[in-house]
Amino acid sequence: MRATIMYCAGDVRVENVPDATIVNPTDALVRVTRACICGSDLWPYKDLAPTEKGRRMGHEAVGVVEAVGKQVQKVKKGDFVMMPFAFSDGECAFCHEGLQTSCVHGGFFGFSEGVGGAQAEAIRIPFADGTLFVLPVREDHALLASLLTLSDVMGTGHHAAVAARVAPGKKVAVVGDGAVGLCGVIAAKRLGAEQIILLGRHPTRIALAKEFGATDIVKERGDEAIEQVRKITGGFGAHSVLESVGTEQSMLTAVNIARPGGAIGRVGVPHYPKAPAWEPTFYKNITISGGPAPVRAYVQELLPDVLEGRIQPGCVFDRVIGIDEVPDGYRAMDKREAIKVMVKP
Amino acid sequence: MRATIMYCAGDVRVENVPDATIVNPTDALVRVTRACICGSDLWPYKDLAPTEKGRRMGHEAVGVVEAVGKQVQKVKKGDFVMMPFAFSDGECAFCHEGLQTSCVHGGFFGFSEGVGGAQAEAIRIPFADGTLFVLPVREDHALLASLLTLSDVMGTGHHAAVAARVAPGKKVAVVGDGAVGLCGVIAAKRLGAEQIILLGRHPTRIALAKEFGATDIVKERGDEAIEQVRKITGGFGAHSVLESVGTEQSMLTAVNIARPGGAIGRVGVPHYPKAPAWEPTFYKNITISGGPAPVRAYVQELLPDVLEGRIQPGCVFDRVIGIDEVPDGYRAMDKREAIKVMVKP
Length of chain B: 345
- Cα–Cα distance, B332 to B345 (Å, whole number): 18
Distance in Å from the first CA to the final CA of chain B: 10
To test the contact with chain A by mutation, choose from B158, B282, B283 the residue with the greatest count of A C-beta atoms within 10 A, namely B282
- Cα–Cα distance, B291 to B276 (Å, whole number): 17
Cβ separation B269–A282 shorter than 8 A: yes
- Tell me the ipTM for this assembly: 0.96
Question: What pLDDT score was predicted for residue B114?
Answer: 82
Averaged pLDDT of chain A: 97
Question: What pLDDT score was predicted for residue A278?
Answer: 95
Determine the average pLDDT of the residues in A116-132. 98
- pLDDT tens string A235-280: 999 999 999 999 999 999 999 999 999 999 999 999 999 999 999 9
- Cα–Cα distance, B88 to B94 (Å, whole number): 9
Residues 6+ apart with CB under 8 A from A231: none
Residue A233 banded pLDDT, cuts 50, 70, 90 = very high
Chain B residues with CB-CB distance to A288 below 8 A: 287-289
- pLDDT tens string B157-216: 999 999 999 999 999 999 999 999 999 999 999 999 999 999 999 999 999 999 999 999
Cβ separation A291–B286 shorter than 8 A: yes
- Whether B60 and B83 have beta carbons less than 8 Å apart is answered as yes
Q: What is the dihedral of CA B87, B183, B290, A295, to 10 degrees?
A: -150
Question: What pLDDT score was predicted for residue A114?
Answer: 82
Which ranges of B77-177 would DSSP assign to H, the alpha helix?
93-97, 128-131, 144-149, 153-163
Question: What pLDDT score was predicted for residue A214?
Answer: 98
- Cα–Cα distance, A183 to A212 (Å, whole number): 8
- Cα–Cα distance, B37 to A9 (Å, whole number): 56
Question: What pLDDT score was predicted for residue A238?
Answer: 98
Q: Is B284 on the interface with A (CB under 8 A)?
A: yes
pLDDT above 90 (res B231): yes
Residue B112 banded pLDDT, cuts 50, 70, 90 = confident
To test the contact with chain A by mutation, choose from B171, B243, B251, B288 the residue with the greatest count of A C-beta atoms within 10 A, namely B288
Question: What pLDDT score was predicted for residue B205?
Answer: 96
Question: What pLDDT score was predicted for residue A113?
Answer: 79
- Cα–Cα distance, B139 to B134 (Å, whole number): 11
Residue A162 banded pLDDT, cuts 50, 70, 90 = very high
Residue B342 banded pLDDT, cuts 50, 70, 90 = very high
Q: Among A54, A82, A71, A72, which Cα is nearest to A146's?
A: A82
Rg, chain B, Cα only: 20
- Whether B26 and B71 have beta carbons less than 8 Å apart is answered as yes
B163 to chain A: closest CA residue: A287
- Cα–Cα distance, B144 to B149 (Å, whole number): 9
- Cα–Cα distance, B273 to A73 (Å, whole number): 51
How many other β-carbons are positioned within 10 Å of the β-carbon of residue B155? 29
Strand order of the β-sheet with A195-199 is: A216-218, A195-199, A171-175, A238-243, A258-266, A287-290, B287-290, B258-266, B238-243, B171-175, B195-199, B216-218
- Whether A25 and A69 have beta carbons less than 8 Å apart is answered as yes
- Whether A66 and A125 have beta carbons less than 8 Å apart is answered as no
- Cα–Cα distance, A344 to A320 (Å, whole number): 7
DSSP B269: P
DSSP A292: S
Rg, chain A, Cα only: 20
- Whether A213 and A187 have beta carbons less than 8 Å apart is answered as no
- Cα–Cα distance, A207 to A338 (Å, whole number): 14
Question: What pLDDT score was predicted for residue B69?
Answer: 98
Averaged pLDDT of chain B: 97
Q: Among A58, A254, A66, A70, which Cα is nearest to A164's?
A: A254
Residue A82 banded pLDDT, cuts 50, 70, 90 = very high
- Beta-bridged to residue B16, according to DSSP, are B2
Q: Among A186, A156, A180, A170, which Cα is nearest to A262's?
A: A170
- Cα–Cα distance, B288 to B293 (Å, whole number): 15
Q: Under DSSP, is residue A8 helix (H, G, I), strand (E, B) or coil? A: strand
Q: Is A276 on the interface with B (CB under 8 A)?
A: yes
Question: What pLDDT score was predicted for residue A36?
Answer: 98
Domains for chain B: give ranges and CATH numbers.
2-152+294-344 (3.90.180.10), 154-290 (3.40.50.720)
A281 to chain B: closest CA residue: B291
- pLDDT tens string B281-319: 999 999 999 999 999 999 999 999 999 999 999 999 999
- Cα–Cα distance, A261 to A284 (Å, whole number): 6
Percent of chain B with pLDDT strictly greater than 90: 97
Residue A307 banded pLDDT, cuts 50, 70, 90 = very high
Cβ separation A288–B285 shorter than 8 A: no
Cα angle value A177/A181/A183 (rounded, 5°)? 125
- pLDDT tens string B256-273: 999 999 999 999 999 999
Residue B15 banded pLDDT, cuts 50, 70, 90 = very high
Query: Which of A99, A163, A269 is facing B260, going by the closest CB pair?
Result: A99
Residue B258's identity, in one-letter code, is A
- Chain B nearest CA to A1, separation (Å): 32
Which ranges of A18-102 would DSSP assign to H, the alpha helix?
42-47, 93-96
Q: Under DSSP, is residue A93 helix (H, G, I), strand (E, B) or coil? A: helix
- Cα–Cα distance, A155 to A293 (Å, whole number): 7
- Whether A263 and B291 have beta carbons less than 8 Å apart is answered as no
